[in-house]
Structure 1
């Protein structure tokens, strides 16, 4: 299956919408205040990414340029990414958020989602024209920050700090 750049950008929009739905649902479901705050922050980030990809799609429609990519070569790679458990539509994202029994489980799912998204955006960087490269590059940098923030949160949840009585919280 071949994808046009507009179709790939639409996949990116749908991915961000799924991420937003996951983070909003997980934030409401978590019992850990810090985890909820991180999830709400990430939901806001996903919203910004939705607008960015919609803007990129508008720019492609308004000023189409020759894309430096062999789409046939990319099709299998894109399919492998989009078939992943973590490359979600909104209904799957909501189900995964609801199934997470603990904040740590929700963070683990979020890490998987962000890693798959990063793979997809790295591939997207090779597909867009020169004008869009800085924007996609900035999104990649943000996704890396999300992964770092989630990893730090996961480590905090996996290794709670001792309380004043010497017990773990």
Structure 2
């Protein structure tokens, strides 16, 4: 068995949300279509809210005293590490976004949201902290809504652009 602290798992979640906010901010800035820009701005704001939620959770966990740990098997550790190491934003920077079509940026957003849902699902299953499980469950539902929003906009983008 391996152990990850609540702090470590929540910190990764915070990093995902912070990177997502930066990605959507840049995508909105570069978008040429009003509707897509509005979607990216909304997603950016929601990622910022998620970051704050995780930050508050981390502060509460740290204030509570001794660390809680996720007790997970080797396979789960490998899975989480691969999600972390490959990073949902690896290789994506402001310069590369500029070269992409709007549909390609939407596809990256879809991949990011899918990977986030995968991470949060695994973290939620392994958490021993009821508040962390509750928060992850709520954020998973919001991330799934992001998937639907991005999928619908991608359908439009493929037809129009």
TM-score (norm 1): 0.83
Say what the alpha-carbon RMSD is for the aligned residues.
2.2
1:41, CA displacement in angstroms?
0.3
1:123 aligns with 122
Preserved contact between residue 19 and residue 93 of structure 1 (Cα < 8 Å): no
Query: How many aligned residue pairs are there?
Result: 158
Offset at 1:98?
2.9
2:57 corresponds in structure 1 to 56
1:134 Cα offset (Å) = 1.6
2:23 maps to which residue? Answer: 22
Distance 2:143 2:83 in 1: 16
Q: What is the aligned partner in structure 2 of residue 77 from structure 1?
A: 79
* Unpaired stretches in structure 2, ≥5 consecutive residues: none
* Match of residue 150 from structure 1: 150
Question: Between Structure 1 and Structure 2, whose CA radius of gyration is higher?
Answer: 1
Any conservation in 1 of the 2:5–2:69 contact (CA below 8 Å)? no
2:6 touches 2:67 (CA, 8 Å); kept in 1?
Answer: no
SS of structure 2 residue aligned to 1:3: strand
User: For the structure 1 residues 141 and 54, does the alpha-carbon distance in structure 2 shift closer, same or farther, using more than 3 Å as the test?
Assistant: same
Does residue 108 of structure 2 align to residue 109 of structure 1? Answer: yes
Equivalent runs, 1:92-107 vs 2, <5 Å: 92-100=92-100, 102-107=101-106
- The structure richer in helix per residue is 2
Distance 1:158 1:16, change over 3 A: same
Structure 2 CA distance for partners of 1:92 and 1:159, relative to 1, 3 Å: closer
SS of the counterpart of 1:151? helix
Distance 1:56 1:72 in 2: 26
Pairwise CA distance, 1:93: 4.7
Higher strand share: 2
Deviation of the 1:121 alpha carbon:
0.6
Counting only pairs closer than 5 Å after superposition, residues 35-50 of structure 1 correspond to structure 2 as 35-50=36-51
Q: TM-score, normalization: structure 2? A: 0.87
